[in-house]
Amino acid sequence: MANHASALKRARQNAKKRLANRSQRTAMRTAIKKVHQAVEAGDRDAAMAALRHAQSLIDRAGRKNLIHRNQAARRVSRLNARIKAMA
């Protein structure tokens, strides 16, 4: 456990940030699952709507270094490819 005031403060900040990161990561994963579900159901309109929302969350995660920017681009690209393959 931290002993100095600055270390105690850093521990509090880390705990707060961890909860925010976990929340964003969970929201991103849920949005990706919704795209996959819409694709599996064959509903192109729902898939496109879900992709727009998921892309926003994925790009935000990339900007905030929650995931690497290249990984964010790769995830969006793969989701887009799955939707294009439906046609």
At 41, is the pLDDT very low, low, confident or very high (cuts 50, 70, 90)?
Answer: very high
The per-residue pLDDT for range 57-73, each reduced to its tens digit, is: 999 999 999 999 999 99
pLDDT at 2: 83
CB 82 within 8 A of CB 39: yes
Q: Rounded to two decimals, what is the model's pTM? A: 0.88
Which amino acid type is present at position 65? N
Does residue 16 belong to any structural domain of this protein?
no
Task: Give the integer Cα–Cα distance in Å for 50 and 41.
Answer: 13
pLDDT at 86: 87
For residue 67, the enclosing domain spans: 28-86
Does residue 57 belong to any structural domain of this protein?
yes
- Work out the burial of residue 45: count CB atoms within 10 Å of its CB; fewer than 13 is exposed, 13-18 middle, 19 or more buried: exposed
Does residue 47 belong to any structural domain of this protein?
yes
Domain count, the chain: 1
Does residue 6 belong to any structural domain of this protein?
no
Does residue 8 belong to any structural domain of this protein?
no
Does residue 39 belong to any structural domain of this protein?
yes
Q: What is the mean pLDDT of residues 29-58?
A: 97
